[in-house]
Amino acid sequence: MPHTHHLRLFSAAGTCALATHIVLEEAGADYELVKVDFSLGEQGLPAFLAINPKGRVPALLGPQGVLTETPALLVYVAQIYPAACLAPLHDAFAFARLQSFNAYLCATVHVAHAHRRRGARWADDTAAQAAMQRKVAANMTACFRLIEDELLHGPWVLGDDYSVCDAYLYTISGWLEGDGVDLSQFPKVSDHAARMSRRPAVQAAEAAYR
Ligand X SMILES: N[C@@H](CCC(=O)N[C@@H](CS)C(=O)NCC(=O)O)C(=O)O
- Taking the least distance from each CB to ligand X, the nearer of 43 and 163 is 43
CB closer to ligand X out of 44 and 187: 44
Single-letter amino acid code for the residue at 57? V
Strand order in the sheet with 59-62: 31-35, 7-11, 59-62, 65-68
Which of 15/141 has CB closer to ligand X?
Answer: 15
Query: CB 203 → ligand X: shortest distance, Å?
Result: 21
Q: Are strands 65-68 and 59-62 parallel, antiparallel or unpaired?
A: antiparallel
- Helix axis angle, 164-173 to 17-27, nearest 10°: 140
Rounded least distance, CB 30 to ligand X, Å: 22
Q: How far is the CB of 132 from ligand X (least distance, A)?
A: 15
- DSSP β-ladder status, 31-35 and 65-68: unpaired
Cβ proximity to ligand X, 16 vs 140, nearer residue: 16
Residue 15 Cβ, how far from ligand X at the closest point, in Å? 4
Contacts to ligand X by CB under 6 A: 15-16, 43, 55-58, 69-70, 106, 110, 118
Phi and psi (nearest 5°) for 10?
-90, 120
Q: How far apart are CA 169 and CA 87, in angstroms?
A: 14
